Each structure stands twice: as structure tokens, then as C-alpha cells.
Amino acid sequence: MLAIDHIVVAARDPEKAAEDFGMKHDIVVTEGGQHANWGTYNYLAYFRNDCYIEWIGIFDETTAARSDNPLIHLLFREIAEGHEGPIQLAFRTEQMDENVKNLQNLNIQYTGPIPGSRKRPDGSFLEWRMLFPEAEQQVLPFLIEWGEIKNTPRDPKLINGKTINLVSIPAVTLDPFMAIYQLYFDNQTAKLDNAVLKLSDEFHFSIG
């Protein structure tokens, strides 16, 4: 079963956005790092149910504009239009190659798997792959598969005792969610490995 890996939040100033959110919800946030190939950087908040929030911003607009990563395209567009807030959801998988085969069998267009990496403040190096299913009328969640090192902080004090228990995302139809992610929905709601997913008219999430 898929799990929520992280929620992507667009921010002009990720540090301030993360700190403001942390103060409001009484959670610890931390610096993530830079994605040099994409011209972006992030701040993070980790939760007890093995997921996190990523506030991501742009430090090099030229590099970001040239990126072939759909997530960076989306971020660049949202920031350019003055929009800040949740823009994407990542599902964690350990079967990326099987997910690619599923999309091919369904004849669904996709981008990836795209490799990603960044150096953490503690000097460790993270690597991952991302897969982006494509749809004409909506932005679909992407799939992420981590390398040998999982994106979990070494300091347990950085893992908040709260959980992200519900994520609602905009959706036009159930069909791609059932076919691509092989999820079962009851009243627009599906159970994931570590949270509940709800299809609605807007993107929001709850912490408990």
C-alpha cells in the first residue's frame, strides 16, 4: 500500500513560511538543503507517522525555469503567479519499476523516473527517484522512491509527536487514482499506509 511521503508547499521564503507554520501549530521545523540542479531549496517538518511537509522556494530562477522536472515547472508557475501554499503530494513507493510498468500498461503518459539528490546540513547525501503520471485536467500526485538513505532526520528531536492524518487534494475524477495508484475509495476517501486521502475541491491537510 502507498504511503504519504510528503506535502509540497510553494513559498517565496521557505524559512519564514516554515517557521510561521511551526509557531502556529507548535511543531519543530528544520533546514533541508539545496537542489542545485533545479535552483530550489527547502525547509522541512517531520511527523511521527513517517511523512513530512516540504516548504520549497527558488534561489536561482534561471536554473528553475530550465528544469525538466514537472514539480519545478509547477512551483515556478505558482510562484510567478503569486500563489503560495500546498501545490503537490508525493506518495512513497518501494516498487518504482512496477509503477512504471503499470503506467505503460494503462497507456498513461508520464515523466520520469527523474533522479534527485541533495546534501543535508549534516553532510549526508540523499538520493531519490520521482515519477509523474500526467493528466489533462488535473495535477496528479507523484511517486517517490528513496535510495539507500531515507529522508528521516538523524536527530529524533526533529520528528514531531503529531501526525498528518488527513490530506485532501483537488480531483476531477476517481478513475486515475484507482488505476494509477490502485487505491480503493469509499465516499471519495481512501486509506493509505500512514494517513487518509480525500478527493475534494481544494488542497488542505490536517495535523493531529
pLDDT in tens, 59-114: 999 999 999 999 999 999 999 999 999 999 999 999 999 999 999 999 999 999 99
Rg over alpha carbons for the chain, rounded to the nearest Å, is 16
Query: What pLDDT does residue 121 have?
Result: 76
Residue 189 lies in a domain: no
Rounded to whole angstroms, the Cα distance separating 42 from 88 reads 14
| Predicted pLDDT at 172 | 81
Task: With respect to residue 200, please indicate whether it lies within any of the assigned structural domains.
Answer: no
Model confidence pLDDT, tens digit, residues 107-131: 999 999 999 888 877 777 889 999 9
> 29 lies in a domain?
yes
d(C-alpha 29, C-alpha 191), whole Å: 27
Sign of the CA dihedral running 157, 167, 69, 59: negative
Least confident segment among 10-19, 47-56, 106-115, 143-152: 143-152
Predicted confidence (pLDDT) per residue in 140-155, tens digit: 999 999 998 888 888 9
Residue 46: give the domain boundaries: 3-157
Number of separate domains in the chain: 1
The answer as to whether 35 is a domain residue is yes
In a domain, 198, yes or no: no
Quick check: is 183 in a domain?
A: no
Average pLDDT in the 175-183 region? Answer: 92
Vertex 118 angle, CA 160 and 192, to 5°:
45
Question: Residue 154 class from Cβ within 10 Å (0-12 exposed, 13-18 middle, 19+ buried)?
Answer: exposed
Is the Cβ–Cβ distance between 57 and 70 less than 8 Å?
A: no
Q: Residue 187 domain-assigned? A: no
CATH number at residue 78: 3.10.180.10
